[in-house]
Amino acid sequence: MTNMAERVADILLTARETGQRGDATRLPVPDYAEALDIQSRLLRHLGPISGFKVGAFRDGQPAMAPIPRAHTFDNGADVPARDRLGLELEIGFDLLRAPDPAMRDRPQDYVVPRLVLELCDQRLSGEALDPAVKLADMQLNHGLVLGPVLTDWDGGDFGHLTARLQCGADLVVDGPVSVPGGSALRALWVLMDHLGDHCGGLQVGQTIITGSVSGLEWFPPGTDVQARIEGFGDLTCRLVQA
């Protein structure tokens, strides 16, 4: 496992540093533990993190991956992109206090919801990557744009929302959308139940993102992005040439 994990991590790190995508057909497919091990090896080179993403993978094995702080941007930022970035509009939660069992009864005392735009990139060639390879590649995460928080939140869940995402001339979504799995809080609890000390564990101030309500669409530098989910306010950024 160690030699395979080192090999895959080296290929992914080289792709990040050079911008040249690796050949996915030459890589072994890791199991779940190996994919998480590869993430940990990558993080030794990528530095501190700003949070985690979580989604569906297999029963009892959620797709979870760290988000590099170096590629986490404030609302309105210019976001460098080499050739393209994938964009996903999501609900996130900022952790205000150390996790505790009581947070499931009063989540508003422990987290605050935030509108976020996940930035995705693909370090390997091919459009149909094995899900375990994607997981090893940080579930395609590149970074994050932090949008507005929801003030005066009462702890209620998010399932069905009204959203708009405009990327350049493309209107990606405009109207009713659903959170993956139907519950943003359920995604948060899944991460809490499975993360443990992976990549340092969850820390106060980090953001957990819960899955795209807009799909995954790819855009080049020069794209102006405007996003909104009802109740949260506006998120904007611009993709610029790296």
Question: Looking at residues 171-176, what average pLDDT do you find?
Answer: 99
- Length of the chain equals 242
What pLDDT digit, counting tens, does each position of 77-95 carry? 999 999 999 999 999 999 9
The predicted structure's pLDDT at residue 132: 93
Q: Which CATH number fits domain 2-241: 3.90.850.10, 3.40.50.1820, 3.30.70.100, 2.40.50.140?
A: 3.90.850.10
Report the percent of the chain where pLDDT is more than 90.
88
- pLDDT over 80 at 127, yes or no: no
Q: What is the pLDDT of residues 103-126, one digit of tens each?
A: 999 999 999 999 999 999 999 987
pLDDT > 80? residue 136: yes
The confidence score (pLDDT) of residue 114 equals 99
Task: Tell me 159's DSSP state.
Answer: -
The predicted structure's pLDDT at residue 150: 97
Distance CA 30, CA 4 (A): 8
Region at 60 (left for phi over 0; alpha for psi -120 to 50; beta for the rest): left
pLDDT, residue 125, reads 87
Residue 102 has pLDDT above 70, yes or no: yes
The span from the CA of 236 to the CA of 117, in Å, is 9
> Side chain identity at 142, as an amino acid letter?
H
Q: How many CB atoms lie within 10 A of CB 73?
A: 17
Query: Which segment of 17-31, 77-91, 104-118, 191-205 scores lowest on mean pLDDT?
Result: 17-31
Mean pLDDT of the region 154-177: 98
Which range, of 21-35, 41-55, 163-177, averages the lowest pLDDT? 21-35
How many angstroms separate the CA atoms of 143 and 75, rounded? 13
Contact 135, 57 (CB under 8 A): yes
- The tokens for 219 are 């855009």
Q: What is the pLDDT of residue 88?
A: 99
Please report the pLDDT score of residue 37 as a whole number. 97
pLDDT above 70 coverage of the chain, percent = 99
Of 226, 209, 236, 223, which Cα lies nearest the Cα of 66? 209
Among 235, 206, 198, 231, which residue's Cα sits nearest to residue 87? 235
- Predicted pLDDT at 129: 83
Q: How confident is the model at residue 98 (pLDDT cuts 50, 70, 90)?
A: very high
Contacts 24+ apart (CB under 8 A), 40-43: 40/198, 40/199, 41/5, 41/6, 41/9, 42/9, 42/12, 42/13, 42/16, 42/138, 43/68, 43/199
Per-chain mean pLDDT for the chain: 95
Could you tell me which residues come within 8 angstroms of residue 168 by beta carbon, excluding any fewer than 6 positions away?
219, 222, 223, 224, 225
